[in-house]
Structure 1
Amino acid sequence: MTIADISRKFDISQDTLRYYERIGLIPRVMRNKGRIREYTEEDCMWVEFILCMRNAGLPIEALMEYVKLFQQGDETIEARKELLNEQRMKLLARMEVMKNTLERLDYKIASYEQTVVEKEKSLKRPMK
């Protein structure tokens, strides 16, 4: 698959893909004789993983550390697991903040809706 194919598949810009490759978040993508990137299925799995983690709010630095550890081999399994657990705890904390924010927004919206209902009741006049 070309970079354009991957860009469309994952709805991510080609510049972002190049950036992720340049900083080591995804392994060096092989190139054909024309120097065009040719993404493999494994490359696609890395892109998908990185996007999933970014959507969860993981910072680039944490992902770079994870990839670095991964490339060092199985002796880093515990370190990778610890890094993911730390990020999981941070995500849970952010989710709790978001849950509280959502509840507050729901309350405010309900208050506005109630105000509108009361205003509409006061505007109703008997028809003659």
Structure 2
Amino acid sequence: MNIKQAAEMFDLTVEAIRYYERVGVIPPVKRDKNGYRVFTKRDLNWIFLAKSLRNAGLSIESLIEFASLSQLEGDERLAQKDILKEQLNELDEKITEMTKVRELLQYKIETYDDHIAKFRTGNLSDDEIEELWKMKHFKKKTDMEEE
């Protein structure tokens, strides 16, 4: 497979793939006798992994380290797993936070009309409204542990 096909497959630009290879986000891709890149399944896996990890928030520097470790032998290569574990933990934290924000948005949508109606009729003042940050669904984990 050539670079244009690989770029189309993963919805990337040819320039992005060249950049990934140049800085070491993906290992070097073999070339044919004319100097054109020839992508193997292994190379395509690397592109897919790099794109996925970037979308999840992994830095270019971490991706470079991850790719560099793949070219080592022995136990040093096991550090790749640590990078993956760390990224998984960070992603789990983001998902937890995003879930809380989703619940907050859902709550605000569900109660919006009622709150607006109460404000308009004077049945709810600024001093009487709920304190969102104190509601159990939206508290930080550390706040709940202190109680």
The C-alpha deviation readout for 1:63-91, integer Å capped at 9, x for no partner, is 11111112112322432222221221111
Partner of 1:61: 61
Equivalent residues in 2 for 1:17-36 (5 A)? 17-36=17-36
Residue identity matched to 2:83: L
Asked whether 1:4 is paired with 2:1, we answer no
The C-alpha deviation readout for 1:17-60, integer Å capped at 9, x for no partner, is 11100011112222223332221111111111112212222111
Asked whether 1:13 is paired with 2:17, we answer no
CA positional deviation for 1:100: 0.9
Q: How many residues align?
A: 118
Deviation larger for 11-20 or 66-75: 66-75
Deviating runs (4+, > 3 A) in structure 1? 112-116
In the aligned structure 2, how far is the partner of 1:9 from the partner of 1:27?
18
Q: Between the two proteins, what is the percent identity of the paired residues? A: 37
Segments of structure 1 that go 5 or more residues without pairing to the other structure are: 117-128
In the aligned structure 1, how far is the partner of 2:104 from the partner of 2:68?
41
Partner of 1:104: 104
Name the structure with the higher helix share: 1
Residue identity matched to 1:30: K
